[in-house]
Amino acid sequence: MSSTEQGLVAGVDSSTQSCKVELRRLSDGVVVASGSAPHPPASPPRSEQHPEDWWTALVAAFSQAVRAAGDQARHLRAVSVAAQCHGLVVLDAHDTVVRPAKLWNDTTSTPELLALRAQIGDAALVERTGSLPTAAFTLSKVAWLARHEPEAFARVRRMLLPHDYLTFRLTGRAVTDRSEASGTAYYDAAQGTYLLDHLRLVADRDWAPMLPEVLGPDDVAGEVLPAVLAELGLPGTVGPVRVGPGGGDQHATALGLGIVEGDVVYSFGTSGVVMALSPTPVRDPEGHVDGVADLTGGYLPLVSTLNAARTTDTFARLLGTTHDGLSDLALAADPASPGPVLAAYLDGERTPNRPDASGLLSGLTTATTREELARAAYEGVVFGLHAGQRHLERVGVPTGGRVLAVGGGARSRAYTQLLADVTQRPVLHPDAPESTARGAAVQAAAVALGEPVTVLRDRWAPATRPAAEPRAARDGAWRRYEATAAVTALDGLDGLDGTDGPGHR
Residue 501 reports pLDDT greater than 60 = no
Report the predicted TM-score, pTM, of the whole model to 2 decimal places: 0.91
- Number of C-alpha atoms within 13 angstroms, CB side, residue 54? 30
Residue-wise DSSP of 85-99 = SS-BEEE-TTS-B-S
- 3-state SS of 111-130 is HHHHHHHHHHCHHHHHHHHC
- Give the three-state DSSP class for 205: coil
pLDDT band per the 50, 70, 90 thresholds, residue 5: low
What is the Cα 422 distance to its own chain's centre?
Answer: 24
Evaluate whether 391 touches 289 at the Cβ level (below 8 Å): yes
For residue 366, report the phi and psi dihedrals to the nearest 5 degrees: -70, -15
pLDDT in tens, 176-207: 999 999 999 999 999 999 999 999 999 999 99
Catalytic annotation on 249?
Answer: yes
Please tell me the predicted confidence (pLDDT) of residue 3: 54
Model confidence band, residue 489 (pLDDT cutoffs 50, 70, 90): low
The more confidently predicted of residues 1 and 377 is: 377
Distance of CA 495 to the CA centre of its chain: 22
What the chain holds in terms of domains, given with CATH numbers, is 8-250 (3.30.420.40)
Tell me the pLDDT band of 67, cut-offs 50, 70 and 90: very high
pLDDT at residue 1, as a whole number: 46
As a whole number of angstroms, the distance between CA 87 and CA 44 comes to 13
Say how many C-beta atoms besides its own lie within 10 A of residue 476's C-beta: 12
| Residue 39 predicted with pLDDT over 80 | yes
**% pLDDT > 90, the chain:** 85
Residue 25 main-chain phi, psi, to 5 deg: -70, 135
Integer angstrom CA distances of residue 421 from 282, 412, 478? 28, 15, 10
Ranges assigned E (strand) in 173-253: 175-177, 187-188, 193-194, 213-215, 222-223, 242-243, 247-248
Nearest to residue 462, comparing CAs of 439, 494, 489, 487? 439
Instruction: Return the pLDDT at 500.
Output: 43
Answer for the pair 267, 415: CB distance below 8 angstroms, yes or no. Answer: no
What CA–CA distance (Å, rounded) separates 18 from 42? 11
Mean pLDDT of the residues in the chain? 93
**Residues 312-328, mean pLDDT to the nearest whole number:** 97
Instruction: Confirm if 28 and 39 have CB atoms less than 8 A apart.
Output: no
- The single residue of 106, 177, 249, 500 carrying the catalytic annotation is 249
Cα 474 to the chain's mean position, in Å?
30
CA-CA distances (angstroms) from residue 425 to 400, 412, 419? 10, 17, 8
Q: Is it the case that residue 154 has pLDDT exceeding 80?
A: yes
Q: What local confidence, expressed as pLDDT, does residue 505 receive?
A: 52
Structure confidence at residue 117 (pLDDT) = 96
pLDDT of residue 4: 62
Asked if 430 and 257 touch (Cβ cutoff 8 Å), the reply is yes
pLDDT of the residue at 168: 98
Residue 497 pLDDT greater than 50, yes or no: no
